[in-house]
Structure 1
Amino acid sequence: MAKLKKKCDERLEHWFEEAMERIKKATGARTQVQLAEVLEVRQSSISDAKRRCSVPSDWFLKLYRSHGLNPNWLSDGQEPVYLNASRGAVAAENLLREAPASYGRANARGRVVQVSTMTGSSADPNVWAPQPTEDLSIPESYHRPELAVLRVDSAAMEPVILRGAFVGVDMAQRQHPDGDLCAVHFPHQGLLIRRVYYQDGQFVLRAEDKSHADLHVPAAEMAARTLGRVVWVMQNLNPLA
């Protein structure tokens, strides 16, 4: 008599998605290709596991050996995250900040990203390089392949963007439609966020706070000085005292 296969019902599908989300977060593998490389399996093996709603036990063993991860945490979320923390690639507290959620609910799933200062870290005043100072958990849907997250250190864009707000800048978007918010580099100042307008062969950068003077950048320099367009803002409009 043929052995009956376990049915992949809604409960098992939910368990599988949560377990795989923990694996991805802990290893930093965000795609099926990357995950296959971490697990040292073919991509088809991951597809087969998803179809069966079953994580092979040898995957848990591999992840313990390679990343020190606790199989019980990977499977069911039971702490501790690590049985061998010295092999951990991501701090346990970061992995525990966000509860796993269904892959189909992008706004319910989070990702921890690094936040940089506006001034950056480069010793060359003509070049901006990120200077990570903290981590931030953002919705998965806010993430972009070329995302830079900045902590705003100026009141120039208030009340639209408050001092201390987090902004997401898509570095793949370097166009300058009139009125859009862009992060632009100024030597010896770092990045400034302004509304950008094109006028008479140059770009005019305007702050929301009119006490800040307009800035002007020659059109020939603008592309090289633009980090990207601001695509989202996270800020507390009513902070607790």
Structure 2
Amino acid sequence: MPDAFDTFFARVMQSTDITTQQALARVLGVNRSAITQAKNRDAIPQKWILRLSRVYGLAPDWLEYGRGTPRPAPLAQTFAAAPHGTEHAAVQARPVGVAPGRAAALRPAMPAMPLADLPPAVHMVPKVRARLSAGGGSFEVQAMPVGGQPFAHAWLARKGTPSAMVLMDVVGDSMEPEIRDGDTVLVDRATEDLRYGQVYAVGLEDAVLVKRVMRTPDGLALVSDNPAYSPIRVRGDELEQFRVIGRVVWLCRELG
């Protein structure tokens, strides 16, 4: 008989954008070791079930025990007992930017859901106090929320894991012209594997930096777009002080 944790995690991967236990830990807001402990105990904390249910609109009983369906019954069943003449509308998902008439040709129709159980249309991304230095390094590393910005959930999902995203300010000119001093960047902390050559928010000892991460024969190089700045080499014991905060997936700036 399959272990309770393994079947639970299989259901999570089936119904969400979570594909690794590390990503699950980030969505739940726990350390990776907590996932290992739950797996060893073969038990899933109830608060994990409730959080995943709220974030992804899943039925708790299905998530924990596999009973019923991942999401509530179709909207048509909800109105089965409604008085004759009651008006209602079934909501069907279709690709963004595709005309309604073409949606069926692109993918199978999905069962409608009650409006209250649809995934949230808007997701509030927290802005944290940690300031990403695009220069020599910033020591303001306390990631305390200082506000938030609403984004369309579907737009965020195309870029990564909405629940793992934060906004941070950039200080310095080492990533100009692409990223400028004062820009705000959207960082996806659910990043698992480094995509060499792309821009990441990284921590090195007590500094928080935004750099392109490149592989070298003996370690890593944190490269600036501004040629006036030399690459930062990370090798040997320094690799133990290196951590990936997340991949920069978007930026914004004020004009004027």
The residue identity in structure 2 corresponding to 1:196 is V
CA 1:195/1:202 → structure 2, altered by over 3 Å: closer, same or farther? same
| 102 and 221 in structure 1: CA distance in 2 versus 1, 3 angstrom threshold | farther
Q: CA deviation at 1:134?
A: 1.8
Inter-partner Cα distance in structure 2 for 1:115 and 1:31:
22
Q: CA deviation at 1:205?
A: 0.8
Q: Secondary structure at the match of 2:143?
A: coil
What percentage of aligned pairs have identical amino acids? 15
Of the candidates 32, 45, 49, which is equivalent to residue 57 of structure 2? 32
- Kindly indicate whether the alpha-carbon contact (under 8 Å) linking 1:206 and 1:214 is maintained by their aligned counterparts in 2: yes
Distance 1:130 1:213, change over 3 A: same
* Alpha-carbon contact 1:174-1:226 (below 8 Å) kept: no
Could you report, residue by residue, the CA deviation over 1:85-126 in whole angstroms, capped at 9, with x for unpaired residues? xxxxxxxxxxxxxxxx98546799431110113349xxxx99
**Unaligned ranges ≥5, structure 1:** 1-27, 57-100
Task: Output the CA distance in 1 between the equivalents of 2:171 and 2:139.
Answer: 20
CA distance in 1, matches of 2:240, 2:222: 14
Q: Which amino acid counterpart does residue 160 of structure 1 have in structure 2?
A: E
Q: Counterpart of 1:29 in 2: which secondary structure? A: helix
The alpha carbon displacement at 1:196 in A equals: 1.4
Of 140, 147, 167, the residue aligned with 1:134 is 147
Q: Which amino acid aligns with 2:214?
A: Y
1:110 aligns with 2:99: no
Matches within 5 A, 1:190-229: 191-218=208-235, 221-222=238-239, 225-229=242-246
SS at match of 1:158: coil
Q: Give how far 1:232 is off.
A: 1.4
Alignment correspondent of 1:178:
196
Partners of 1:156 and 1:210 in 2: CA distance: 8
Matched residue SS, 2:167: strand
Are the structure 2 counterparts of residues 127 and 234 from structure 1 closer, same or farther at C-alpha, using a change threshold of 3 Å? Answer: closer
Q: 1:29 to 1:222 in 2, by over 3 A?
A: same
Maintained 8 Å contact 2:130/2:140: no
Task: Assess, with a 3 A threshold, how the Cα gap between structure 1 residues 164 and 137 changes in structure 2: closer, same or farther.
Answer: farther
- Is 1:230 the counterpart of 2:247? The answer is yes
Contact 2:189 2:246 in 1 (8 A): yes
Question: Does residue 1:154 correspond to 2:172, yes or no?
Answer: yes
Equivalent-residue separation in structure 1 for 2:243 and 2:70 (angstroms)? 43
Displacement of 1:53: 5.7
Q: Tell whether the 8 Å contact from 1:118 to 1:152 is kept in structure 2 after alignment.
A: no
CA-based RMSD of the aligned residues comes to 4.2
1:179-207 CA-to-partner distances (Å, cap 9, x unmatched) read 12121113343x10101112231211111
Do residues 50 (structure 1) and 75 (structure 2) align? yes
CA offsets per residue over residues 167-224 of structure 1, 9 Å max, x none? 23233324334312121113343x1010111223121111112222321212554476
Aligned residue in 2 for 1:88: none
Give the direction of change, closer, same or farther, for the CA distance of 1:174–1:102 in structure 2 (3 Å limit).
same
Counterpart-to-counterpart distance in 2, 1:172 and 1:36: 26
Distance 1:116 1:102 in 2: 35
1:233 positional shift: 1.4
SS in 2 for 1:142: helix
The one-letter code matched in structure 2 to 1:114 is P
CA distance in 2, matches of 1:114, 1:221: 30
TM-score by length of 1: 0.51
When normalised by structure 2's length, the TM-score is 0.48
Determine if contact 1:36/1:46 at 8 Å carries over to the other structure.
Answer: no
Q: Which residue of 1 aligns with 2:86?
A: none
